[in-house]
């Protein structure tokens, strides 16, 4: 442990067992065609990992966009992610493409999601949406907030009175 004025830092021996970045191609559904460009596809890909490459030839041709995404564990990429794109919420669906031997299609890949996944290949579930609070819940929260504000006001007033008394004593 070393010290520099107003700064503390700790130097540790480097750990070579740090996990590697895994990469895979994903099909991303749910991006409107009129909003589909490499920057926006890259932004959507960044919701689940690090965008490595965008298939620019595929941007306007299909119902999905393709992106190569890097992350700690490609099998844990969620199937559906809610995201904001141009002030609108969308549910983006991610399907990982898996290389298959003997396949002669253009990409040499097939996509996988749910039915043909291996047992240990379970994506994280979709993050649940926040429930819309009721008027009663909002009112209760406002009452609690008002009570807390009143407590803080009383504490400040008590400190001010103590300070004024100390000033009177000092002269």
pLDDT digits (tens, 9 = 90+) for 71-123: 988 888 998 999 888 888 999 999 998 876 655 555 555 555 544 445 445 55
pLDDT digits (tens, 9 = 90+) for 12-25: 777 776 678 899 99
Q: What is the dihedral of CA 65, 71, 76, 77, to 10 degrees?
A: -20
Q: Are 31 and 85 in contact (CB under 8 A)?
A: yes
Q: How far apart are CA 12 and CA 65, in angstroms?
A: 42
The answer, as to whether pTM is greater than 0.85, is no
The structural domains of the chain, with segments of one domain joined by +, span 2-112, 131-171
Q: How far apart are CA 27 and CA 43, in angstroms?
A: 14
């Amino acid at each position: 442990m070393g010290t520099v004025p107003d700064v503390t830092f700790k130097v540790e021996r480097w750990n070579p067992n740090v996990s590697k970045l895994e990469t895979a191609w994903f099909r991303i559904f749910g991006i409107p065609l009129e909003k589909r460009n490499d920057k926006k596809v890259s932004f959507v890909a960044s919701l689940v990992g690090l965008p490595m490459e965008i298939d620019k030839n595929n941007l306007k041709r299909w119902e999905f966009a393709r992106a190569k995404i890097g992350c700690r564990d490609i099998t844990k990429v969620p199937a559906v992610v809610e995201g904001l794109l141009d002030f609108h919420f969308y549910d983006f669906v991610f399907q990982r493409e898996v290389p298959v031997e003997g396949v002669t299609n253009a990409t040499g890949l097939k996509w996988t999601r749910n039915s043909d996944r291996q047992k240990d290949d379970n994506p994280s579930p979709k993050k649940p949406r926040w429930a819309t609070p009721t008027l009663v819940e909002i009112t209760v929260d406002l009452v609690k907030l008002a009570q807390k504000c009143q407590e803080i006001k009383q504490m400040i007033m008590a400190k001010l009175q103590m300070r004024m008394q100390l000033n009177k004593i000092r002269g």
